[in-house]
Amino acid sequence: MGRTALLAALACGMNLGADVRAQEAAPLAAVDTFTLKLPPAAAPVAGAEGSVQFIGTATVLVRYQGFTILTDPNFLHKGDHVHLGYGLTAERLTNPAIDLDKLPPIDLVVLSHMHEDHFDKLVQEKLDKNTPIATTREAAEALKRLGFTRAIGLSTWDRLEVEKGEARLRITAVPGRHGKAGMQALLPSVMGSVFDFGPNVATPAYRMYVSGDTLIYDDLKTIPQRFPGIDLALLHLGGTRILGVFKVTMDGKDGVRLMQIVQPRRAIPIHYDDYDVFKSPLSAFASEVKAAGLDKQVTYLAHGETYTFAPAKR
């Protein structure tokens, strides 16, 4: 499908609305639980603090309780291009804070969906093919075709139980939608994710939510119902627009609405200003945050900066 055909399809929804509604009305599938056992750390984990380091785009390093997790790996440099499908490309406007070959050892990658600005050609070629990757079922199949041997496909509410020595982590896939309902068949499936650190699911040591490339829609309201007391939310912003017209990620106003829905104790914006298809700058989110009186709940990180956190007080 070329650009002209894509524009026409998006404009009319390709009569897909009924099909999408039929899918959404289908009975809920059973929740699956997967397990992943990692080798224990060579040395005891020092300290109780955790950290989130912003590398750029939607790529962050999460380190806590002996786990090192990489999200949505994108390590292209300024001037490089990614392909988004249907003949569409995007140019990177920034550099990552760390190069791919300078990363510490990674236990697990969490990939919200299969788009090149989240899993680029460099990563496809250079990332160890034996790296565990938690992602959507659709993306897991694509990763397996690329040679990745430990891609774990999750549907909404599926869980991945991760064990590393005495440390425990549960990752749950939560709702996300990369565009309006009529556009869904033209876009990859996407998931948000909740990280619950610690052995006790009812009272995790720390609860983190990563939004993924979602827009605001009703299903997001189920996240705080199932996962109250979110300590930290990482919000994919940018107001990404396909063909400069169709919004497929949250803008500043949407980011505030999501904060109001999931009610995190702290939020960090990511996925903004890095590509030319990102049309809503970080400043737009900051203005909306100030207008909503949420300034004290938001931390802004420049590329390479780190936010540190301690176990939550329940």
Alpha carbon distance 193, 205 (integer Å):
17
What number is the average pLDDT over the span 202-213?
94
Task: Quote the mean pLDDT of the chain.
Answer: 88
Looking at residue 7, its pLDDT comes to: 44
Cβ atoms of 254 and 221 within 8 Å: the answer is no
User: What domains can be seen in the chain, in order of their start residue?
Assistant: 33-293 (3.60.15.10)
Looking at residue 313, its pLDDT comes to: 79
Of 47-61, 123-137, 161-175, 237-251, the one with minimum mean pLDDT is 237-251
Q: Using DSSP, state whether 300 is helix, strand or coil.
A: coil
Looking at residue 83, its pLDDT comes to: 87
What number is the average pLDDT over the span 177-183?
72
Q: How confident is the model at residue 13 (pLDDT cuts 50, 70, 90)?
A: very low
pTM: 0.90
Identity of the amino acid at 101: D
Position 245 pLDDT exceeds 90: no
Backbone angles phi, psi at 274, to 5 degrees: -90, -20
Cβ atoms of 57 and 111 within 8 Å: the answer is no
Looking at residue 259, its pLDDT comes to: 98
Q: How confident is the model at residue 24 (pLDDT cuts 50, 70, 90)?
A: very low
Strand partners, 85: 88
Q: How confident is the model at residue 269 (pLDDT cuts 50, 70, 90)?
A: very high
Looking at residue 183, its pLDDT comes to: 61
CA dihedral 91, 94, 100, 101 (to 10 degrees): 120
Looking at residue 41, its pLDDT comes to: 81
Looking at residue 44, its pLDDT comes to: 60
Looking at per-residue pLDDT, the higher value among 3 and 221 belongs to 221
Q: How confident is the model at residue 87 (pLDDT cuts 50, 70, 90)?
A: low
Position 78 pLDDT exceeds 50: yes
Alpha carbon distance 88, 243 (integer Å):
8
What number is the average pLDDT over the span 260-289?
97
Position 26 pLDDT exceeds 50: no
Position 139 pLDDT exceeds 90: yes
